[in-house]
Amino acid sequence: MKQSFTGNFTQQEPIPEAGIEAALRVMRAGRLHRYNVAVGEVGETALLEQEFAAFTGAAYALAVASGGYAIGCALRAMGVGPGDPVLTNAFTLAPVPGAIAAVSARPVFVEVTESLTIDLDHLAQRISETGAKVLLLSHMRGHICDMGKLMAICDAGGVSVIEDCAHTMGGTWKGVPSGRHGRVAAYSTQTYKHINSGEGGLLTSDDPDLMARAVILSGSYMLFERHRAAPPREAFEKVKYVTPNVSGRMDNLRAAILRPQLADLPAQVARWNALYRTVEEGLRNTPGLKVIERPAEEGIVGSSIQFLLPEFGADRIAQVQSGCAARGVELKWFGGAEPVGFTSRYESWRYAETQSLPQTDRILAGLMDMRLPLTFSLDDACLIAGIIADEVRGAQ
């Protein structure tokens, strides 16, 4: 009889007790709004920003309502507006081009490589063709490209980089934290990300003018001096009367939940990576299946894993997917004609102009994706890999 897996691919670990206790303190005080603090009190949101800036090494940090809001706020703070071309990966999730469209800018997609990172040659070509001055770089599913080469291309083209680090909080490239290469970085604290407040986001930057605009955009009114990881007052004096309020603040309740998780993140990254490497080794050398090799320079956070079935057509991939599902293993497929749940591809985003990306089409046609929640054990990871490998062999 074939083995099956009985775990849940969407079940997260509970909030740490320290986070629950901190949340209860906030609720008992009734001061959930980030600026509603007692005299002499420092709110949880301000403390989270200070701690996140220290964690990433950034000069400034801002906590906001979601990862998507963080991206949109970054675009607005950089002055992106109607009709502006904004480069971004063709392989990403809908909130990324959605944020570009939300400021009435124009998403311009860049091909993906078989390493699931942005194609740097095509990026250089797109910069030349479009004259775009902003790249919204999605570190999709935690895959980080050669950031030295990318920044050299962008610097030469006068392109500012926003790093979408929704899937790389805690990751690195050559030891440098993800988010520290571009002009500004956006992170997510949505339930399926690396720290969990249900919804939430963070922005980091070393640019005082950009971050002053972002703080006011987020809805600080004239209370910006209550931030502990924000630029000095003189940066706000230049922009406070000309920057609109597009409120998207984080509240003290979510920040209270997040602070202990941030402190635990390095240990959690090690646990994710142990799961990832167990599944990776279990899939390696499976006929018809291609493992995504990760470069030595990349410090990964293995909260999900991807692999390719490059020679499989749609029918055989559906067979693998349904066979795994019958045995309790949930695989997502990026090659489907219609979006399913969170999984969609660039043709689905019809607010963006039609673009031809044959390389991306070929890669996504065989791309499989799977979450690795920390509620799984190493034995679970080994069993899951065995089920996938067995179903792939059976579909040959």
Q: Give the closest residue to 119 by CA, choosing from 133, 138, 98, 141.
A: 138
pLDDT in tens, 257-282: 999 999 999 999 999 999 999 999 99
Q: Say if residue 127 is in the same domain as residue 244.
A: yes
Q: Give the closest residue to 23 by CA, choosing from 40, 55, 48.
A: 48
Q: Say if residue 105 is in the same domain as residue 121.
A: yes
C-alpha angle with apex 353: 355 to 145, nearest 5 degrees? 55
Cβ atoms of residues 344 and 93 within 8 Å: yes
Task: Supply the pLDDT for residue 252.
Answer: 98
- What is the mean pLDDT of the segment spanning 113-137? 98
Give percent above pLDDT 90 in the chain. 96
pLDDT in tens, 153-212: 999 999 999 999 999 999 999 999 999 999 999 999 999 999 999 999 999 999 999 999
Q: Say if residue 42 is in the same domain as residue 149.
A: yes
Q: Say if residue 195 is in the same domain as residue 71.
A: yes
Task: Supply the pLDDT for residue 395.
Answer: 92
Assigned domain for 118 exists: yes
Assigned domain for 336 exists: yes
CATH number at 170 reads: 3.40.640.10
Q: Say if residue 132 is in the same domain as residue 40.
A: yes
pLDDT in tens, 4-50: 999 999 999 999 999 999 999 999 999 999 999 998 899 999 999 99
Assigned domain for 7 exists: no
pLDDT in tens, 305-353: 999 999 999 999 999 999 999 999 999 999 988 888 889 889 999 999 9
Q: Say if residue 182 is in the same domain as residue 291.
A: no
Q: Which of 235, 260, 285 is the last residue of a domain?
A: 260
- Domain region containing 340: 265-394
Assigned domain for 357 exists: yes
Tokens of 341: 């749940």
Assigned domain for 3 exists: no
Looking at the structure of the chain, the number of domains it has is 2
Q: Which of 216, 236, 260 is the last residue of a domain?
A: 260
C-alpha 163/C-alpha 206 separation (Å) is: 13
Q: Say if residue 98 is in the same domain as residue 170.
A: yes
Q: How many CB atoms lie within 10 A of CB 266?
A: 10
Sheet holding 85-89, edge to edge: 60-64, 201-205, 184-188, 160-164, 134-138, 85-89, 106-110
Give pTM, 2 decimals: 0.97
For 268, phi then psi, to 5°, come to -65, -40
Q: Say if residue 287 is in the same domain as residue 229.
A: no
Task: Supply the pLDDT for residue 234.
Answer: 97
Assigned domain for 5 exists: no
C-alpha 309/C-alpha 211 separation (Å) is: 43
How many Cα neighbours within 13 Å face the side chain of 203?
A: 34
What is the radius of gyration, based on Cα positions, of the chain? Answer: 21
Query: CB burial class (10 A; 0-12, 13-18, 19+) of residue 362?
Result: middle
